[in-house]
Protein backbone atom coordinates (compact mmCIF):
# COMPACT_ATOMS: atom_id res chain seq x y z
CA UNK A 1 0.00 0.00 0.00
CA UNK A 2 1.30 3.49 -0.81
CA UNK A 3 1.35 5.71 2.26
CA UNK A 4 2.40 9.34 2.36
CA UNK A 5 5.38 8.95 4.65
CA UNK A 6 8.57 10.96 4.40
CA UNK A 7 10.07 8.08 2.39
CA UNK A 8 7.18 8.21 -0.10
CA UNK A 9 7.18 11.97 -0.63
CA UNK A 10 8.50 13.30 -3.91
CA UNK A 11 12.04 14.64 -3.74
CA UNK A 12 12.30 18.43 -3.74
CA UNK A 13 12.56 19.84 -7.25
CA UNK A 14 13.91 23.29 -8.07
CA UNK A 15 12.27 25.53 -10.66
CA UNK A 16 14.88 24.80 -13.35
CA UNK A 17 14.56 21.03 -12.96
CA UNK A 18 10.74 21.26 -12.96
CA UNK A 19 10.86 23.39 -16.12
CA UNK A 20 13.24 20.98 -17.86
CA UNK A 21 11.03 18.02 -16.96
CA UNK A 22 7.87 19.80 -18.16
CA UNK A 23 9.49 20.90 -21.42
CA UNK A 24 10.93 17.43 -22.01
CA UNK A 25 7.63 15.69 -21.38
CA UNK A 26 5.66 18.25 -23.41
CA UNK A 27 8.07 18.00 -26.34
CA UNK A 28 8.00 14.20 -26.30
CA UNK A 29 4.18 14.12 -26.20
CA UNK A 30 3.86 16.74 -28.92
CA UNK A 31 6.23 14.77 -31.17
CA UNK A 32 4.35 11.49 -30.55
CA UNK A 33 0.96 13.07 -31.22
CA UNK A 34 2.22 14.88 -34.33
CA UNK A 35 3.58 11.58 -35.67
CA UNK A 36 0.43 9.61 -34.83
CA UNK A 37 -2.72 11.31 -33.52
CA UNK A 38 -3.78 8.00 -31.93
CA UNK A 39 -0.77 8.26 -29.59
CA UNK A 40 -2.84 10.73 -27.54
CA UNK A 41 -5.45 8.07 -26.78
CA UNK A 42 -4.70 6.79 -23.28
CA UNK A 43 -6.44 4.06 -21.34
CA UNK A 44 -6.31 3.90 -17.56
CA UNK A 45 -7.38 0.78 -15.69
CA UNK A 46 -7.83 0.72 -11.92
CA UNK A 47 -9.06 -2.26 -9.89
CA UNK A 48 -10.88 -2.27 -6.57
CA UNK A 49 -11.78 -5.00 -4.08
CA UNK A 50 -14.10 -4.57 -1.12
CA UNK A 51 -12.55 -5.02 2.34
CA UNK A 52 -13.76 -4.43 5.87
CA UNK A 53 -17.22 -2.92 6.36
CA UNK A 54 -17.34 -0.70 3.26
CA UNK A 55 -13.67 -0.01 2.46
CA UNK A 56 -12.08 -0.68 -0.91
CA UNK A 57 -8.49 -1.62 -1.72
CA UNK A 58 -7.59 0.14 -4.96
CA UNK A 59 -4.78 -1.00 -7.25
CA UNK A 60 -3.67 1.58 -9.79
CA UNK A 61 -0.53 0.56 -11.64
CA UNK A 62 2.20 0.04 -9.05
CA UNK A 63 0.17 1.80 -6.36
CA UNK A 64 -2.25 0.36 -3.83
CA UNK A 65 -4.38 2.46 -1.50
CA UNK A 66 -7.58 2.29 0.49
CA UNK A 67 -10.80 4.24 0.17
CA UNK A 68 -13.24 4.14 3.08
CA UNK A 69 -16.05 6.03 4.76
CA UNK A 70 -16.28 7.55 8.22
CA UNK A 71 -18.10 5.58 10.91
CA UNK A 72 -21.26 7.67 10.38
CA UNK A 73 -21.47 6.13 6.88
CA UNK A 74 -20.77 2.55 8.08
CA UNK A 75 -17.03 2.77 7.44
CA UNK A 76 -13.97 2.00 9.52
CA UNK A 77 -12.48 5.43 8.68
CA UNK A 78 -9.13 3.91 7.65
CA UNK A 79 -8.80 6.19 4.61
CA UNK A 80 -10.36 9.13 2.83
CA UNK A 81 -13.85 8.69 1.36
CA UNK A 82 -14.59 8.33 -2.36
CA UNK A 83 -15.76 11.94 -2.61
CA UNK A 84 -12.64 13.15 -0.79
CA UNK A 85 -10.48 11.22 -3.26
CA UNK A 86 -12.51 12.78 -6.10
CA UNK A 87 -11.74 16.24 -4.75
CA UNK A 88 -8.11 15.20 -4.27
CA UNK A 89 -7.98 14.01 -7.89
CA UNK A 90 -9.32 17.39 -9.01
CA UNK A 91 -6.76 19.27 -6.91
CA UNK A 92 -3.83 17.15 -8.05
CA UNK A 93 -4.81 17.44 -11.72
CA UNK A 94 -5.11 21.21 -11.34
CA UNK A 95 -1.62 21.39 -9.78
CA UNK A 96 -0.13 19.43 -12.71
CA UNK A 97 -1.90 21.54 -15.34
CA UNK A 98 -1.02 24.81 -13.55
CA UNK A 99 2.64 23.81 -13.60
CA UNK A 100 2.48 22.65 -17.21
CA UNK A 101 0.83 25.81 -18.56
CA UNK A 102 2.69 28.23 -16.29
CA UNK A 103 5.87 26.88 -17.83
CA UNK A 104 4.48 26.88 -21.40
CA UNK A 105 3.06 30.43 -21.14
CA UNK A 106 5.98 31.93 -19.23
CA UNK A 107 3.79 32.78 -16.22
CA UNK A 108 5.93 31.53 -13.35
CA UNK A 109 4.82 31.05 -9.79
CA UNK A 110 6.77 29.92 -6.74
CA UNK A 111 4.26 27.80 -4.83
CA UNK A 112 0.74 26.54 -5.36
CA UNK A 113 -1.88 25.25 -2.95
CA UNK A 114 -5.49 24.43 -3.68
CA UNK A 115 -8.43 23.81 -1.39
CA UNK A 116 -11.51 22.14 -2.86
CA UNK A 117 -14.85 22.41 -1.10
CA UNK A 118 -17.54 20.09 -2.40
CA UNK A 119 -21.16 20.41 -1.33
CA UNK A 120 -23.19 17.19 -1.46
CA UNK A 121 -26.80 16.51 -0.49
CA UNK A 122 -26.87 12.95 0.95
CA UNK A 123 -30.67 12.74 0.66
CA UNK A 124 -30.34 11.07 -2.76
CA UNK A 125 -27.76 8.59 -1.45
CA UNK A 126 -30.19 7.45 1.24
CA UNK A 127 -33.23 7.33 -1.06
CA UNK A 128 -34.96 10.32 0.53
CA UNK A 129 -35.06 12.74 -2.40
CA UNK A 130 -34.69 11.63 -6.02
CA UNK A 131 -34.92 15.26 -7.17
CA UNK A 132 -31.38 16.16 -6.02
CA UNK A 133 -28.13 15.02 -7.60
CA UNK A 134 -26.38 12.05 -6.05
CA UNK A 135 -23.06 13.83 -6.57
CA UNK A 136 -21.76 17.25 -5.67
CA UNK A 137 -24.19 20.13 -6.04
CA UNK A 138 -21.20 22.46 -6.28
CA UNK A 139 -17.44 22.54 -5.93
CA UNK A 140 -15.38 25.62 -5.14
CA UNK A 141 -11.64 25.69 -5.81
CA UNK A 142 -9.51 28.15 -3.87
CA UNK A 143 -6.22 28.32 -5.79
CA UNK A 144 -3.34 30.16 -4.16
CA UNK A 145 -0.16 30.89 -6.09
CA UNK A 146 2.77 32.93 -4.90
CA UNK A 147 4.97 34.74 -7.38
CA UNK A 148 5.83 38.02 -9.00
CA UNK A 149 3.28 38.08 -11.85
CA UNK A 150 0.24 40.34 -11.90
CA UNK A 151 -3.21 39.12 -10.89
CA UNK A 152 -4.29 39.50 -14.52
CA UNK A 153 -1.57 37.08 -15.68
CA UNK A 154 -2.56 34.55 -13.01
CA UNK A 155 -6.23 34.95 -14.01
CA UNK A 156 -5.23 34.21 -17.62
CA UNK A 157 -3.30 31.15 -16.44
CA UNK A 158 -6.36 29.98 -14.49
CA UNK A 159 -8.59 30.22 -17.57
CA UNK A 160 -6.09 28.21 -19.64
CA UNK A 161 -5.77 25.60 -16.88
CA UNK A 162 -9.52 25.24 -16.54
CA UNK A 163 -9.85 24.75 -20.31
CA UNK A 164 -7.26 21.94 -20.31
CA UNK A 165 -7.64 20.09 -16.98
CA UNK A 166 -8.88 16.51 -17.61
CA UNK A 167 -10.32 15.97 -14.13
CA UNK A 168 -12.09 19.33 -14.11
CA UNK A 169 -13.63 18.22 -17.41
CA UNK A 170 -14.90 15.06 -15.68
CA UNK A 171 -16.71 17.21 -13.13
CA UNK A 172 -17.93 19.79 -15.65
CA UNK A 173 -19.22 17.62 -18.48
CA UNK A 174 -21.15 14.36 -18.72
CA UNK A 175 -18.95 11.34 -19.37
CA UNK A 176 -20.52 8.18 -20.79
CA UNK A 177 -20.24 5.36 -18.26
CA UNK A 178 -21.30 1.78 -18.90
CA UNK A 179 -21.59 -0.80 -16.18
CA UNK A 180 -21.94 -4.56 -16.28
CA UNK A 181 -22.53 -6.85 -13.35
CA UNK A 182 -21.38 -10.47 -13.51
CA UNK A 183 -22.14 -13.22 -11.06
CA UNK A 184 -18.94 -15.16 -10.31
Q: What is the pLDDT of residue 1?
A: 43
pLDDT in tens, 40-90: 999 999 999 999 999 999 999 999 999 999 999 999 999 999 999 999 999
Predicted confidence at residue 129, as pLDDT, reads 96
Mean pLDDT along residues 3-16? 74
Name the pLDDT band for 8 (thresholds 50, 70, 90). Answer: confident
Reported as half-sphere exposure (CB side, CA atoms, 13 A), residue 103 has a value of: 18
Grade residue 144 by pLDDT with cuts at 50, 70 and 90: very high
The number of CA neighbours under 13 Å toward the Cβ of 65 is 15
| Alpha-carbon span 86 to 67, nearest angstrom | 11
pLDDT digits (tens, 9 = 90+) for 36-54: 999 999 999 999 999 999 9
What's the DSSP call for residue 39? Answer: G
Q: Tens digits of per-residue pLDDT, 145-165?
A: 999 999 999 999 999 999 999
Q: What is the pLDDT of residue 19?
A: 87
If pLDDT is split at 50, 70 and 90, which confidence band does 111 have?
very high
Q: How many alpha carbons fall within 13 Å on the CB side of residue 172?
A: 10
Per-residue model confidence (pLDDT) at position 7: 58
Amino acid sequence: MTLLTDAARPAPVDADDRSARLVGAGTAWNDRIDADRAAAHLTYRVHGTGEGAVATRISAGRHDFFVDEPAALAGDDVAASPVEYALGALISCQVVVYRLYANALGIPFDDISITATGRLDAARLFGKDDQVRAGFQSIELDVRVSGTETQERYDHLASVVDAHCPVLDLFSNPTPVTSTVSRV
